[in-house]
């Protein structure tokens, strides 16, 4: 399995940077778990090479990548699209933790076994692993092992995800993990080969269906992935930066203050994260100008929230895809749950020492491109991730 060696050096350089007891303790217990999970995934992938070597010839045609700045509706859009399981192959959380054909087939067999007389034992085992995930992130992002999810664990194994910043709050010291497109060609190509290999496994196990994925930290790898998959479609969820930015900052701040309580909401760590958020917006806009219009499709968060079914049907039309009756029925059913779900947004830009005027000025081109008006004070309920 590929690993970003530069990323390892970056983590080594920040391991004892302004250390706190909480962060050192957290690192100490997370590290063996990470190593153990990564080795388990590597073992299953090695079994794939023996049991299913033909996967290497699997074609990955017209994959769809859903991305955005964090907290901009990607979870909602992705999970609605993933219900079209006759067309799309998407990964569930357990599959991103164990990105292997053998592992997926093993889990599916266990799920069938769970319906037999030994099912209670398997259900207890499932709850043992799943309940901590659901309880830990319930207020930020709903997780469940058998739910469609972004490939965050797969990318963490290769140290190519900004998610490492949840533990090491020094985003500007982790450039190879936050900016894939800026890596040296050799490292970038090694990552892309690993990424393609992983996608091939998912598509092969799913019987050749069209690959669907989402990742909120995808912006800075769009150019690379487009080079690797020139027929790919990129679905970009864009949200008013006045609203998405504080939600993005809060996602990291809540993790940071758990292990490093001295971090201030307006401190230098948050300011570095803010700059990264600005760059993600700008970079997505750059990529949009380079990729053909029919392969780079924009959905405004506000439109998605107002009428999710219409937004998804419009997307299918843009992608030139028919909408099956079964999928449309699932969308109708999902709309009931969507309208019943709302969670309050706790913090605004001011909490993090940022003015709306600053955001408007920094991202002036974004505001103009997507039709967002001048800053104004609003209070509302956040309805989707």
Report, at the CATH architecture level, how domain 5-382 is classified.
Answer: 3-Layer(aba) Sandwich (3.40)
Which of 156-165, 230-239, 333-342, 375-384 bottoms out in mean pLDDT, i.e. has the lowest?
375-384
Which helix (H) or strand (E) element contains residue 103? helix 101-113
pLDDT at 128 over 60: no
Q: Stretch 183-202: mean pLDDT, rounded?
A: 96
Burial class (CB in 10 A: 0-12, 13-18, 19+), 384: buried
Q: Which residue has better confidence, 128 or 250?
A: 250
> Mean pLDDT over residues 141-166, rounded?
83
Q: Which residues contact 10 (CB under 8 A, 6 or more apart)?
A: 173, 174, 175, 176, 177
Torsion angle, alpha carbons of 53, 56, 59, 63, to 10: 110
Q: Where are the domains of the chain?
A: 5-382
CA 182 distance to own-chain centroid: 19
pLDDT in tens, 227-268: 999 999 999 999 999 999 998 999 899 999 999 999 999 999
Determine which of 69-73, 129-133, 158-162, 250-254 has the lowest per-residue pLDDT on average: 129-133
Question: How large is the average pLDDT for residues 279-288?
Answer: 94
Q: What is the mean pLDDT of residues 215-230?
A: 93
Q: What is the mean pLDDT of residues 200-217?
A: 95
User: Which residues share a beta bridge with 152?
Assistant: none
Is it the case that residue 340 has pLDDT exceeding 70? no
- What average pLDDT does the chain have? 88
Helix or strand (DSSP H, E) at 296: strand 296-300
Element (H, E) at 328: helix 325-340
- Is pLDDT at 22 greater than 80 in this prediction? yes
- pLDDT greater than 60 at residue 75: yes
Q: Hunting for tokens 């309580």 — which residue is that?
A: 261
- pLDDT of the residue at 152: 85
Q: Is the pLDDT of residue 187 over 60?
A: yes
Averaged pLDDT for residues 160-178 = 94
pLDDT of residue 148: 80
Task: Give φ, ψ of 95 to 5 degrees.
Answer: -80, -25
Q: 328 pLDDT band (50/70/90 cuts)?
A: very high
């Amino acid at each position: 399995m590929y690993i970003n060696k530069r990323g390892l050096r970056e983590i080594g350089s920040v391991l004892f940077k302004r250390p706190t007891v909480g962060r050192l303790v957290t690192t100490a217990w997370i590290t063996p778990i990470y190593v153990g999970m990564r080795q388990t995934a590597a073992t299953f992938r090695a079994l794939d090479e023996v049991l299913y070597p033909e996967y290497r010839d699997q074609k990955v045609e017209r994959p769809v990548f859903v991305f955005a700045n964090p907290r901009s509706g990607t979870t909602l859009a992705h999970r609605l699209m993933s219900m079209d399981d006759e067309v799309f192959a998407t990964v569930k959380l357990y599959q991103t933790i164990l990105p292997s054909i053998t592992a997926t087939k093993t889990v599916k067999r266990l799920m069938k076994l769970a319906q037999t007389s030994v099912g209670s034992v398997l259900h207890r085992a499932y709850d043992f692993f799943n309940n901590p995930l659901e309880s830990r992130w319930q207020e930020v992002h709903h997780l469940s092992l058998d739910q469609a999810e972004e490939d965050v664990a797969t990318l963490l194994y290769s140290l190519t995800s900004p998610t490492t910043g949840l533990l090491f709050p020094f985003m500007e010291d982790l450039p190879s993990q936050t900016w894939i497109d800026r890596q040296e060609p050799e490292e970038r190509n090694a990552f892309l080969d690993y990424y393609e290999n992983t996608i091939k496994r998912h598509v092969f196990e799913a019987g050749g269906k069209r690959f669907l994925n989402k990742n909120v930290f995808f912006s800075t790898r769009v150019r690379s992935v487009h080079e690797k998959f020139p027929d790919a479609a990129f679905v970009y969820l864009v949200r008013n930066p006045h609203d998405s930015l504080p939600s993005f900052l809060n996602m990291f701040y809540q993790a940071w203050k758990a292990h490093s309580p001295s971090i201030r909401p307006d401190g230098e760590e948050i300011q570095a994260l803010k700059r990264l958020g600005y760059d993600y917006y700008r970079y997505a806009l750059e990529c949009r100008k380079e990729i053909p219009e029919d392969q780079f499709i924009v959905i405004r968060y506000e439109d998605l929230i107002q009428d999710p079914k219409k937004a998804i049907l419009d997307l299918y039309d843009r992608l030139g895809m028919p909408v099956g009756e079964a999928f449309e029925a699932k969308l109708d059913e999902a709309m009931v749950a969507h309208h019943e779900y709302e969670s309050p947004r706790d913090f605004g830009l001011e909490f993090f020492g940022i003015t709306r005027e600053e955001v408007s000025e920094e991202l002036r081109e974004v505001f103009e491109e997507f039709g967002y008006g001048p800053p104004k004070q609003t209070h509302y309920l956040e309805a989707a991730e």
